[in-house]
Amino acid sequence: MLDRAGKTDFPDAREPREAHQVDPTTRYVTEIDPCVVNAVFVKLMELEDEQEETNHMNEIEQDELDEDMTAEL
The continuous run of DSSP H or E covering 37 comes out as: helix 34-72
**Cα separation values, 50 from 13, 22, 31, 42, 55, Å:** 29, 35, 30, 13, 9
Q: What does the CA dihedral 20, 25, 31, 34 come to, rounded to 10 degrees?
A: -160
Q: Give the per-residue pLDDT at 15.
A: 67
Residues in the chain: 73
Instruction: Band the pLDDT of 57: cuts 50, 70, 90.
Output: confident
pLDDT of residue 49: 92
Q: What is the pTM of this model?
A: 0.44
The pLDDT value recorded for residue 65 is 83
pLDDT band at 51 (very low <50, low <70, confident <90, very high): very high
Is the pLDDT reported for residue 9 higher than 70? no
